[in-house]
Amino acid sequence: MSLIERWLRPTQSGVDGALNREDIEPDRAAEHDEVLEALGHELRRNYVSREEVAVVLQSLGADQLATHLRENKLPTKIAVRHGEFGEAIGGALFRRLKRYCVPIMKLRYKQGRNQPTHLADILAFRLRQDPPIVAILEVKTRTTRDLAIGVEAYTQLGVTIRDGLGQAITFVVARLADRNPALASRIALLLAGRHRIEQHVVLVYDQASWDERVIHRLRAVVDQDTTATVVQVPDLAPLVAAAYAAAAEDLARER
Residues 177/244, Cβ–Cβ less than 8 Å:
no
C-alpha–C-alpha distance, residues 135 and 144, integer Å: 28
Domain ranges of the chain: 3-254
Which of 88, 79, 76 has its CA nearest to residue 113?
A: 76
Which of 221, 75, 89 has its CA nearest to residue 142?
A: 89
Q: Give residue 112's pLDDT.
A: 87
Beta-carbon contacts of 74 under 8 Å, excluding residues fewer than 6 positions away, are 47, 81, 113, 244, 247, 248
Q: Give residue 119's pLDDT.
A: 84
Instruction: Classify residue 160 by burial, with Cβ atoms within 10 Å: 0-12, 13-18, 19+.
Output: buried
3-class secondary-structure state, position 94? helix
Instruction: Classify residue 254 by burial, with Cβ atoms within 10 Å: 0-12, 13-18, 19+.
Output: middle
112 to 49, 115, 173: CA distances (angstroms): 16, 5, 22
C-alpha–C-alpha distance, residues 38 and 234, integer Å: 17
Instruction: Classify residue 193 by burial, with Cβ atoms within 10 Å: 0-12, 13-18, 19+.
Output: exposed
Look up residue 127 and give its amino acid: L
What does R_g of the chain's alpha carbons equal in angstroms? Answer: 18
Q: Give residue 60's pLDDT.
A: 73
Q: Give residue 66's pLDDT.
A: 72
Q: Give residue 14's pLDDT.
A: 87
Residues of the chain below pLDDT 70: 1, 57, 251-255
Pinpoint the alpha helices (H) of the chain: 3-7, 32-47, 50-60, 65-72, 78-92, 149-159, 165-176, 181-188, 213-221, 236-254
Which of 245, 207, 210, 196 has its CA nearest to residue 69?
A: 245
For 126, phi then psi, to 5°, come to -125, 90
Torsion of CA 216, 220, 225, 229, to 10 degrees: -20
3-class secondary-structure state, position 81? helix
Q: Give residue 252's pLDDT.
A: 59
Look up residue 87 and give its amino acid: E
Q: Strands 133-142, 8-16: parallel, antiparallel or unpaired by DSSP?
A: unpaired
